[in-house]
Amino acid sequence: MATPTKDQVLTALKQVKGPDLSDDIVALGLVAPDDIAVSDGKVILAVRIPAERARELEPMRQAVEKVVAAVPGVSKVTVALTAERRASAAPPPSGAPGAASPPSGAPGPSGGLDAGVKGVSAIIAVASGKGGVGKSTTAVNLALGLKAGGLNVGLLDADIYGPSMPRLLKISGRPEPISGRILKPMENYGLKVMSMGFLVDEETPMIWRGPMVISALTQMLNEVLWGPLDVLVVDMPPGTGDAQLTMAQQVPLAGAVIVSTPQDLALIDARKGLAMFQRTEVPVLGIVENMSYFLCPHCGERSEIFGHGGAESEAARIGVPFLGGVPLDIAVRETSDAGTPVVVSAPESGVAKAYRGIADRVMDRLKQERQAAGRKAPKIVMET
C-alpha cells in the first residue's frame, strides 16, 4: 500500500471541527504541517489547545485519531494535545530571532514532531510495578554504569508527578533554549538530563491530566537536543495504570528494565509491569532485584534478610532474563540524597560494580533483541 503523505493527513484533519465548532482544526491553525510527522505508515501529530481544556477536548483528540487512521496506508496514529501559550495560533518560524524564550511553566507547544528521537540510537525504559522499590535510583546508576562503559547516555525523567532527577543528580537551574523551542538538556556526571523538575517550580502545584502528561513527555523527547546518544534511559512513573501504558506506547522504546524487590514475594507487581510491556510489544530486557540482600556497613557481612533470590527464580520461571541484584546498602541512600550517585562517588564499591554489571547485561540484551528483530545490531562497543 502507498505510504501516506502529510497532505493526505492534513486533508483528513479538515473533517474535525475545533473546540467551539466554528471551523475545522486546520483552518483554525490548531494543527500545522510542522506538527505532523509521517514515517512509513506511522503518523504522529500534535494539536494545540489551551492547557485548561485538555480533559474536555479528549473526544476531539479521539476524533483526530479516527480520521487519520482512516487515511489509506496509515498503520499507527499517535495524537498529542499540546498546550497553547501564544496569543496567535501561527507558530513563529523555528530559529527566528526572538522566537526563543526561556521556558516558564510546562514546556512550550510542540513543533515538528519526530517519529523516533533524533540522534538517539536506543531508548530504554526503567519501570516498576509500584513506587518505592528503587526505580529512580536504579535508573540513575544504570545510566551512569552505561556511561562508565564508554557510551553517550541521556536520562529522561518521565516521572512527571514526582520528578527526582534534579535531586538525585544535583542539578538545578533551567534548560536553555537553543533555537526556537528546542531546549539544551541539563548535564552532570557526563549525562544529558531532562526532567519536568527543571521546568516547573517545585512549589508550583501542578494538576496533570492524561493528555497533558503525554504532551509533556513528547515535548521532553522531541524538543530537547538529545543527540548524539547511544542510549537514552527513561525513568518511567511507577505503576502500571493507563497513564503508564500510554506512555510506554508513546515512546519508541527499544526495551524495558523492570525493577523489583525481593519482599515483593510472588512479584505480582513486577509481573504487572511485564504484562504492560508485553501488551505494547516492547521487549523486556530483564528484571533487576533491588535491595536484594543487606550489606553490613560495619562488618561487610551479607545477610539475606528478605530471602534473596526471589526475583531471580521468578524471572527464570516466567522466562525473563535476570539482570542482577543490588544490595540494600546505606551508601546507596546516602549518595542518592546527596546527589552523588554511588557509581560515580564510590566506583570501586561492590554496589557500583553491581550496577555496572547490570549495565553490561542490559547492553547485551539490547543487542540480542535487535538481532532477534532482524534489525542491524547497533554499533556500540562497551569498554571494559
Q: Which spans of this chain sit near ligand ADP (rule: CB under 6 A)? A: 128, 131-137, 164, 238, 290-291, 326, 328-329, 332-333, 336
The least CB distance from residue 310 to ligand ADP, in Å, is: 15
Q: Which is nearer to ligand ADP, 45 or 144 (CB)?
A: 144
| Count of other CB atoms within 10 angstroms of residue 108 | 24
Which of 280, 160, 307, 173 has the alpha carbon at shortest distance from 221? 160
Do you find a cis peptide bond into 109, omega within 30 degrees of 0? no
With CB atoms as reference, the residue minimizing the distance to ligand ADP is 134
Q: Which is nearer to ligand ADP, 102 or 132 (CB)?
A: 132
Q: What contacts 242, CB < 8 A, 6 or more positions away? A: 210
The least CB distance from residue 329 to ligand ADP, in Å, is: 5
Q: Which is nearer to ligand ADP, 82 or 290 (CB)?
A: 290
Backbone φ, ψ for residue 341 (5° rounding): -50, 145
Q: Which is nearer to ligand ADP, 78 or 136 (CB)?
A: 136
Which of 140, 204, 192, 173 has the alpha carbon at shortest distance from 338? 140
Handedness of CA 366, 242, 153, 77 (dihedral sign): positive
Q: How many Å apart are CA 270 and CA 216, to the nearest integer? A: 26
SS3 182: strand
Q: Which is nearer to ligand ADP, 46 or 193 (CB)?
A: 193
Q: Based on the number of CB atoms within 10 Å of its own CB, is 158 exposed (0-12), middle (13-18) or buried (19 or more)?
A: buried
- Cα distances from 200 to residues 174, 207, 238, in angstroms, run 9, 12, 20
Q: How many Å apart are CA 151 and CA 149, to the nearest integer? A: 6
Q: What contacts 140, CB < 8 A, 6 or more positions away? A: 155, 165, 168, 169, 235, 336, 341
Measured in whole angstroms, the distance separating CA 20 from the mean position of its chain's CA atoms is 33
Q: Which is nearer to ligand ADP, 110 or 336 (CB)?
A: 336
Q: Which is nearer to ligand ADP, 47 or 160 (CB)?
A: 160
Q: Which is nearer to ligand ADP, 219 or 349 (CB)?
A: 349
Q: How many Å apart are CA 37 and CA 46, to the nearest integer? A: 9
Pairing of strands 42-49, 36-39: antiparallel
The three cell numbers locating residue 280: 505494547
The least CB distance from residue 330 to ligand ADP, in Å, is: 6
N- to C-terminal Cα distance for the chain? 47
Q: Which is nearer to ligand ADP, 183 or 351 (CB)?
A: 351
Handedness of CA 20, 26, 28, 32 (dihedral sign): positive
Q: Which is nearer to ligand ADP, 253 or 354 (CB)?
A: 354
The least CB distance from residue 179 to ligand ADP, in Å, is: 34
The least CB distance from residue 11 to ligand ADP, in Å, is: 45
The least CB distance from residue 155 to ligand ADP, in Å, is: 13
Beta bridge partners of 344: none
